[in-house]
Structure 1
């Protein structure tokens, strides 16, 4: 039920309801807290939308877990998502009770107005938490795509015609190692193609993070800051054979495997 519908994952289809409705309802509740005269007219519509948005977080969480079984679960997004589910359901009880209590009160009591300030403050928290959920979800879905498809800028030297380059000026003569690799470990015509676990172990820092997976060596340095599950998931793999950890989390999932393949350095030897 919460996995796919018409061949599409349910999660991106249902997640928009809470992400859009909760902030709108929160703004409406803040206005009602300051404008008691509006409550008799707008209390019930706001309560209905609040119920739809709050229950929508439950559907989003269940469908997100189903999607996570296919593509992996981003830890940060999951943490914020669970927090929003709990917070929105509690908020539904408190704010909904306040709306029902005050919607026909022409002269709100001190207790009713005090609870209104609490609801207004809670509305601000809901807006912030919903924003964090949406941002972390967008990061998990698109950060790696943007990182791998960003066009490289063209330098002025490449854009403008000039005299033919001499052999000494050619890229082959001036090439330097790419970020996250070392000149000693990179294969050259005079070295065998491949890396040993000793080579991998020398790259166990945030600045240069290599890992071996299923017989190949990968440079994960740039992926540390982009990993949807958080930096610690990658930092713990630096300098190690991460085959078991990677397969245990992602198995044969297409997207994680394609992303890993884009970072390959060469085969593991020895």
Structure 2
């Protein structure tokens, strides 16, 4: 199903949505975790980015499997890509939890801090979710890097050398 679009493999096209949205969601989650005042303003946007990333990951995975049938096994890249959803889902849940707990706290508390991280008035649940959200954002960011690096190595590892010349072009006599 997720194979070609206008004759081009879908995977390298759709993977860019994941590469942009998931790190953006991770950075946004970090921002709303350390700046409680930003949760009301940017929280829904962060959750939307995380949700879109979660939607695009299975499309990237399926299109990657279709591409694998055409070009061969990408090795570690496929394995790491299959794991990415399990980093994105907790990020989505924790970002949504931050926003929800913040709104719930705002509804029950007449005064809110507009500064940075404040633990004094925060509920224990909000504290735990904040710490877990920061850890999840870091883990998701690292995993996106690992998937992308292994994908780049699988696609380009034997074609581009550190000298900047293409091994395939040199072999064909096109490198001069």
**Alignment correspondent of 2:127:** 113
Q: How far apart, CA to CA, are the structure 2 residues paired with 1:151 and 1:112?
A: 53
Q: Paired residue for 1:133, among 131, 147, 156?
A: 147
- Cα deviation, residue 151, structure 1: 4.5
Distance 1:101 1:2 in 2: 37
In the alignment, is the contact (CA less than 8 A) between 1:43 and 1:100 conserved in 2? Answer: no
Q: Flag structure 2 segments of 5+ consecutive residues without an equivalent.
A: 107-111, 113-121, 172-176
Residue 33 (structure 1) aligned with residue 33 (structure 2): yes
Sort the Cα spacing of 1:57 and 1:5 in 2 relative to 1 into closer, same or farther, 3 A.
same
Q: Which has the higher strand share?
A: 1
| Pairing of 1:88-103 with structure 2 (within 5 A) | 88-103=88-103
Q: Given the superposition, is the C-alpha separation of residues 43 and 150 from structure 1 closer, same or farther in structure 2, using an over 3 Å criterion?
A: closer
Residue 29 of structure 2 contacts residue 137 of structure 2 at CA under 8 Å; is this kept in 1? Answer: yes
Alignment check: 8 A CA contact 1:40 1:103 kept: yes
Q: Does 1:6 pair with 2:6?
A: yes
Structure with greater Cα Rg: 1
Query: How has the CA–CA distance of structure 1 residues 131 and 111 changed in structure 2, closer, same or farther, with 3 Å as cutoff?
Result: same
How many Å apart are 1:75 and its aligned residue? 1.6
Higher relative contact order (CA 8 A, sep 6+): 2
Distance 2:15 2:57 in 1: 7
The DSSP-based 3-state class of the residue aligned with 1:145 is coil
Counting helix residues as a fraction of each chain, which structure ranks higher? 2
TM-score, reference length from structure 1:
0.53
- Give the secondary structure class of the aligned counterpart of 2:82: helix
